[in-house]
A and B are shown apart, each in its own frame.
Chain A
């Protein structure tokens, strides 16, 4: 049986970054991925803010499908507000991005294994036995575990962490990559409304030329058999892009919940979507995944150097994570709760107010303030979330 210092389950952005950091520091690490090709199939709308890439991966031309300099917010009655971003954003080619990150981890000495879905974790006193299946049965032994197995997060429950999401805390999403979908270049578009995407929003993310990721998410509790994401997306696409061809279909779920209470424990850490780190309001998850992967890698290296795998040795992961993104995610969660209850009129009012502001001065905080101008409790929350 092969032995490793660390086993990372899942070669998404979080897992690959963690594995790379651990390998760079001279520890043995296995990166196990269930896909037969890292990155594919994609389950993402592929938007990311430049600051996260600069912080963790750098920016490579081959990853970038389009640059984003702002967002258009569209109300159900057609009112549109423009928001120019203060920092650049990108629409990525996630298949390539993920693949390159995993390859870089392997280049630095991580043992990358594809077609290896981790199915069983056996905790022992000072190590784990990790079993992979589908298709090949293998067993590995590791001192530390990093679980970055995405939204399903099927491994954490084996270690006693409850990861089930309430239907009101999950966005069920479906997206088509369309060819022949003309849109505003350099802008992403977000359309809200209870006829468009109940408890969520529809998005149009440019992918260069007339190609775009067009998708929507609706709150799990507002989705009904027959009136599911596919129903709403088909209707949205038929209205907006009746002549477009669907060149790719992507389904996926995004957590809209608070981060897990316990993101680490005896010998293990949980990172990325598996730790419920996606932004509950916008659904953005790549940046937070990168950050959590980097922190998990860092903590693993420190713990290994100190020769300890106890809960206390991994506790810094939780603290650092909460300080950098966890607390913000929690605050966004509290704003999301009243936000998903908005009627169409509320959305129209909000976008009307925002549309009168100079696009260069529109911020997420400003939009939310417009949204909750009559709700003092929520306003206070927003100020706290953005200015503290």
Chain B
């Protein structure tokens, strides 16, 4: 399971990149990318993101929609 990036909110500050213990988050110029195979869903970035652009991973993609 891996965190998810909300590109509508991300403003490419790079804070999560400095924080990620697995090096799973990278900045390609101004585009945040995630290597899902590295992400352990520890959620440090989810909590720290200043603009709430990172979301916890979900096991079934259906869950969110049901909640909505």
Which A residues are closer than 8 A to B by beta carbons? 34, 43, 115, 117, 119, 133-135, 150-154, 157, 163-165, 167, 170, 172-174, 220, 223-226, 228-230, 249, 251-253, 255
Contact B23 A251 (CB under 8 A): no
Give Cα A174–Cα B18 distance, bound, in whole angstroms.
16
Q: B47 touches which one: A43, A152, A165, A223 (CB < 8 A)? A: A223
Instruction: Specify the chain A residue showing the minimal Cβ separation from B21.
Output: A164
CB of A99 to closest CB in B, whole Å: 17
Q: Is the CB of A170 within 8 A of B30?
A: no
Q: Is the CB of A154 within 8 A of B44?
A: no
Q: Is residue B58 within 8 Å, beta carbon to beta carbon, of the partner chain?
A: no
In order of increasing CB-CB distance, the 5 nearest A-B pairs are A253-B15, A229-B50, A251-B13, A152-B14, A134-B29
B50 touches A223 (CB 8 A): yes
Are the CB atoms of B52 and A225 closer together than 8 Å? yes
Q: Which residue of B lies closest to A251 (CB)?
A: B13
- The answer for the CA separation of A229 and B28 in the assembled complex, in Å, is 24
A117–B52 contact, CB under 8 A? no
Task: Please tell me if B51 contacts chain A, counting CB pairs below 8 Å.
Answer: yes
* Among candidates B14, B30, B47, B51, residue contacting A174 with C-beta atoms closer than 8 Å: B51
Across the interface, name the chain B residue whose C-beta is closest to A34: B29
Complex-state Cα separation, A225 to B6, whole angstroms: 13
Nearest opposing residue in chain A for B9, CB measure:
A230
Q: Which of B14, B21, B31, B48 counts the most chain A CB atoms within 10 A?
A: B48
The interface bits of chain B over 25-68 (1 if a CB of A lies within 8 angstroms of the residue's CB, else 0) are 01111110000000000011011111110001000000000000
**B28 surroundings in chain A (CB, below 8 A):** 117, 119, 133-134
Complex Cα distance, B54 from A228, in Å, reads: 11
Bound-complex Cα distance A121 to B13 (A):
23
Tell whether, in the assembled complex, residue A251 and residue B11 are in contact, meaning their CB atoms are under 8 Å apart. yes
Cβ of B5 within 8 Å of any chain A Cβ, yes or no, is no
- Give the Cβ gap from A232 to chain B, nearest Cβ, in Å: 9
Number of B interface residues at 8 Å Cβ cutoff, please give it: 26
Contacts of A173 in B (CB 8 A): 15, 50
The answer to whether A253 touches B14 (Cβ under 8 A) is yes
A-chain residues with CB within 8 Å of residue B51 when the two chains form the complex: 174, 228-230, 251
Residues of A within 8 A of B48 (CB): 167, 170, 172, 220, 223, 228
Selected from B19, B30, B56, the residue in CB contact (under 8 A) with A164 is B19
Residue from B29, B44, B56 within 8 A of A167 (CB atoms): B44
Q: Which of B11, B19, B27, B29 contacts A170 (CB 8 A)?
A: B19
Question: Can you list 28 A-B contacts (CB < 8 A)?
Answer: A34-B29, A34-B30, A134-B29, A134-B31, A151-B15, A152-B14, A152-B18, A163-B18, A164-B21, A167-B44, A167-B47, A167-B48, A170-B18, A173-B50, A174-B50, A223-B47, A225-B46, A225-B49, A225-B52, A225-B56, A228-B48, A228-B50, A228-B51, A249-B11, A251-B15, A251-B51, A253-B13, A253-B19
Known: A163-B18, A164-B23, A173-B50. 7 other contacts (CB 8 A): A165-B18, A172-B48, A172-B49, A220-B15, A220-B19, A223-B49, A253-B18
Question: Within the complex, what minimum Cβ distance (angstroms) separates A283 from chain B?
Answer: 13
A228 and B47 form a contact (CB under 8 A): yes
Chain A CB within 10 Å, residue with most, of B19, B26, B27, B46: B19
Chain B proximity of A46: nearest CB distance (Å) = 15
Most buried by B among A115, A119, A152, A226: A152
Nearest CB of A to B48, in Å: 4
Contact of B15 among A134, A170, A226 (CB under 8 A): A170
User: Complex: how many Å from CA A133 to CA B28?
Assistant: 8
Q: Which residue of A lies closest to B16 (CB)?
A: A253
Q: Is there contact, CB below 8 Å, between B20 and A252?
A: no
A120 CB, min distance to chain B CBs, angstroms: 12
- In the complex, which residues of chain B have a beta carbon less than 8 angstroms from the beta carbon of A133? 28-29
A151 to B13, CA, bound (A): 9
**CB–CB A151/B14 < 8 A:** yes
Give bound CA distance, A10 to B36, whole Å.
27
CA distance A43 to B28 in the complex (A): 17
Q: In the complex, what residues of A have CB within 8 A of residue B52's CB?
A: 225-226, 228, 230
Contact assessment for B44 and A220 in the assembled complex, using a CB-CB cutoff below 8 Å: yes
**What residues on A are CB-neighbors of B13 within 8 Å?**
43, 251-253
